[in-house]
Structure 1
Amino acid sequence: MRVSDLVSNLPDIQIYNPPYGEFTIARVLRETEGRSTPVFREVKPGYVGVGNIIDTRLKLYRYLGVSRDEEAYQKLLAAVESPASVERISTWRDLYRTVDSLYELPMVRYYEKEARPYVTSGVVVGLGLDGVYNASIHRFSPVGGKKAVVRLVPRHLYHIYKTSVARGREVPIAVAWGVHPLVLLAAATSPPYGVFELGVAARLLGGLKVMELDNGAVAPFLSSVVIEGFLTSEQAEEGPFVDIVGVYDRVRLQPVVRVERIYVLREEAYVHYLLPAGSEHMLLMGFEREAKIWRAVKSVAPMVRKVRLTKGGFGWLVAVISLDKSVEGDAKNALLAAFAAHPSLKIAIAVDSDVDPDNPVEVEWAVATRLRADRGLFVIPYVRGSTLDPVALNEEGLTHKVGIDATRPLDVDPVLFERARIPE
């Protein structure tokens, strides 16, 4: 399915027309997130921009065909654990035209101190020496008409890159920009090495075709833009760029992509603008981790009601878990399980089921009225957390983690914790 077909079925579209200022698109994305889906006509001739296509759970659940958290978690985890095969096709080029330079693509800057325009929702498909394919989302910015720099973090594509460069081999890649939201969701997952994330997308979508490129990489069929190239041993400065925590990531040397060909759909190509540190970024990046937390916590505390990676924690560093505990210790076990399920987690808070984790005021109220710091607060020192944490002790994310049991003590009269309500 083309992104254009998908967007036409959304009920909350808001149309914008040129001219666009340098940061107009970023401002509109921020102003409309959670409320509407902005469509930017003629961002360049032949291109339409769209954003906030997966910025709410309601939209995500619509794409997944589910109505509740638990259904969504189960469907995603099942797809990760049992991916489907992709269908490879070689007859696709008539649907595309080629362009000569990355600078012809409608990339934008999102924040004032960013060095260059970026593709922020590009799915990078890399092929390893062992024949393993990996699909993951990486920021991508041009440093020339046929050269770009891509940010790699120490995960599977990084492993493919390091092992390939050590053997004197460049990594064949495809960068797909403008894909189905469930392809993005699948590319944001972290299955074991060797599990192809586009197979996860195939399971979620009920099938997925991929286009075979000349360099051996593949890309989802009908991606709006496909960049074919190679990850090289050359490096260039990448950044500054705003990452999910809303601050500028530091400038570092990162791999350079040598671009061979740039394919663009002949029909209007819909490209996806994903606002860094926006709601869409948080939901895509954190949802699978939230599902893993839910499963892990449920195994040690069966009466789990809701799990949330919070917006204040950028959908990544802070989790709130609501549950009904049957014995003292259930909440602390749940917190420990959450840390194990999502190693980047920095703060985990347990609350009773009468507290809504989506409401930060209620969570703060629970901490204020139900936490006994002498037995409900614990610190896990010197463990690896997130490299995105600005106060981590080193570049590997070494940190101290905090667990907060803000559930009511079972050895105290429950009447003391009953929330006052005004009758209808």
Structure 2
Amino acid sequence: MSLGVIIKSLSNVRSYHPPYGEFTIAKILKESEGRWTPVFENVRKGFVGVGNVIDTREKLYLYLGVKNDEEAYVKLLNAEENPAKLESVSTWRDMYRELESLYDLPMVRYYEKEAKPYITSGVIIGVGIDGVMNASIHRFSPVGNKKAVVRLVPRHLYQIYKTSIEKGREVPIAVAWGVHPLVLLAAASSPPYGVFELEVASRLMGGIKVVELENGAVAPFMASVIIEGFLTREYAEEGPFVDIIGVYDRVRLQPVVRVERIFVLREEAYLHYLLPAGLEHMLLMGFEREAKIWRAVKSVTPGVKKVRLTKGGFGWLVAVISLDKSVEGDAKNALLAAFAAHPSLKIAIAVDSDIDPEDPVAIEWAIATRLRADRGLFVVPYVRGSTLDPVALNEEGLTHKIGIDATRPLDADPSLFEKAKIPD
């Protein structure tokens, strides 16, 4: 199913028309996130832009066919553990036209100090020297008509790249831009090495079709744009661009892609503009980690009620866990489990089940009234955290982590912690 079909099935969609200023699309994405889905008509001939496709849990749960957090967590984690095979489509070329240059694609800049227009939601499918395939989302910015630089973080595609280059082999890749939201969700997840994220998407979607490219990579059938190429041993400067925590990532030397072909759907190609550090970015990047935190915490503390990677932590660095503890120590066990489940996590906070993890005022109130610093605070020193943390001790993300037990002490009078209510 194409992204265009998905968008046309949504309610609360608003259309916009040219002319578009340099930052018009970014401004509308920010204004509309969590509220409506913007559609940017005719961003260039043959192209339609769309954003905030998966910026709320309501949309995510609609795509997944579930009703609540727990059902969504279970479905996603089950798909990672039980991926489904892909169906290859041989007769696909007639549905696509070819472009001669990456600059023919209507990319945009989102923030004033970003280096250039680029793709923020491109799913890169890489083929390892051992035949392992990986699908993950990476920044993709042109440095020539048929050359681009990509940001690789030290995860699976990076591992495939390093291993291949060391053995004198370029990495065959496909870049898919404008795909089904559940393909994005799967590509933003981190199943074990060797589990192909497109097969995770196939399980979530009840099957998925792919096209096979001449270089050996595959791409989702009906992706609006498919770029075929190779990750080379050449490097170029990448950035500055904005990352998940809303600051400008530093300029780095990153691998260059040599582009062989650029395919675009002949029917209107819907391109997905993902606002860096926006709600959609946070939900896509953090949801699977949230599911893993939920599962890990539930295994040590059955009383867990709700887990949230917070907006203030940009869906990545800060987690709040609400729970009913049965004995002292449950909250700390929950916090340690959260750190183990999501290694990039920097701060974990445990609160009682009467505190909403999505309410920052309620969380602060719990810390103010229920935390005993002598026994509720702990620091985990010198552990690997997130490379996105601006105060990490090195480029590998070495940091100190903080656990905060803001649950009420079981040996204290419960009436001292009861929220006052005004009767109806």
Q: How does 1:358-373 map to 2 (within 5 A)?
A: 358-373=358-373
Aligned to 2:136: 136
RMSD: 0.5
**Structure 1 unaligned residues grouped into runs of 5+:** none
**Secondary structure of the structure 2 residue equivalent to 1:350:** strand
**Secondary structure of the structure 2 residue equivalent to 1:60:** helix
Instruction: Work out the CA distance in 1 between the residues paired with 2:410 and 2:335.
Output: 18
Q: How far off its partner does 1:209 sit?
A: 0.4
**Secondary structure of the structure 2 residue equivalent to 1:176:** strand
For the pair 1:262 / 2:262, whether they are aligned, the reply is: yes
Amino acid at match of 1:218: V
Deviations 1:362-401 (A, max 9, x none): 0000000000000001111111100000000100000000
Q: How far off its partner does 1:89 sit?
A: 1.8
Aligned to 1:289: 289
Q: How does 1:315-354 map to 2 (within 5 A)?
A: 315-354=315-354
Amino acid at match of 2:360: P
Instruction: Work out the CA distance in 2 between the residues paired with 1:211 and 1:90.
Output: 7
Q: How far off its partner does 1:88 sit?
A: 1.4
Instruction: Work out the CA distance in 1 between the residues paired with 2:410 and 2:330.
Output: 11
For the pair 1:238 / 2:238, whether they are aligned, the reply is: yes
Q: How far off its partner does 1:167 sit?
A: 1.1
Aligned to 1:96: 96
Q: How far off its partner does 1:190 sit?
A: 0.8
Aligned to 1:11: 11
Q: How far off its partner does 1:192 sit?
A: 1.1
Q: How does 1:197-276 map to 2 (within 5 A)?
A: 197-276=197-276
Instruction: Work out the CA distance in 1 between the residues paired with 2:191 and 2:405.
Output: 30
**Secondary structure of the structure 2 residue equivalent to 1:79:** helix
Amino acid at match of 1:7: I
**Secondary structure of the structure 2 residue equivalent to 1:84:** coil
Aligned to 2:310: 310
Instruction: Work out the CA distance in 1 between the residues paired with 2:71 and 2:358.
Output: 18
Instruction: Work out the CA distance in 2 between the residues paired with 1:156 and 1:339.
Output: 20
Aligned to 1:423: 423
**Secondary structure of the structure 2 residue equivalent to 1:229:** strand
Q: How many residues align?
A: 424
Instruction: Work out the CA distance in 1 between the residues paired with 2:149 and 2:184.
Output: 20
Instruction: Work out the CA distance in 1 between the residues paired with 2:123 and 2:88.
Output: 17
Q: How far off its partner does 1:116 sit?
A: 1.1
Instruction: Work out the CA distance in 1 between the residues paired with 2:400 and 2:195.
Output: 32
For the pair 1:122 / 2:122, whether they are aligned, the reply is: yes
Instruction: Work out the CA distance in 2 between the residues paired with 1:289 and 1:329.
Output: 23
Instruction: Work out the CA distance in 1 between the residues paired with 2:241 and 2:303.
Output: 41
Aligned to 1:377: 377
Amino acid at match of 1:274: L
Instruction: Work out the CA distance in 2 between the residues paired with 1:156 and 1:79.
Output: 18
Deviations 1:137-171 (A, max 9, x none): 00100000000000001111111111111111111
Identity over the aligned pairs, expressed in percent? 80
Instruction: Work out the CA distance in 1 between the residues paired with 2:131 and 2:382.
Output: 37
Structure 1 segments, 4+ long, off by >4 Å, are none
Amino acid at match of 1:146: K
For the pair 1:172 / 2:172, whether they are aligned, the reply is: yes
Instruction: Work out the CA distance in 1 between the residues paired with 2:154 and 2:392.
Output: 16
Q: How does 1:18-167 map to 2 (within 5 A)?
A: 18-167=18-167
**Secondary structure of the structure 1 residue equivalent to 2:76:** helix
Aligned to 1:405: 405
**Secondary structure of the structure 1 residue equivalent to 2:41:** strand
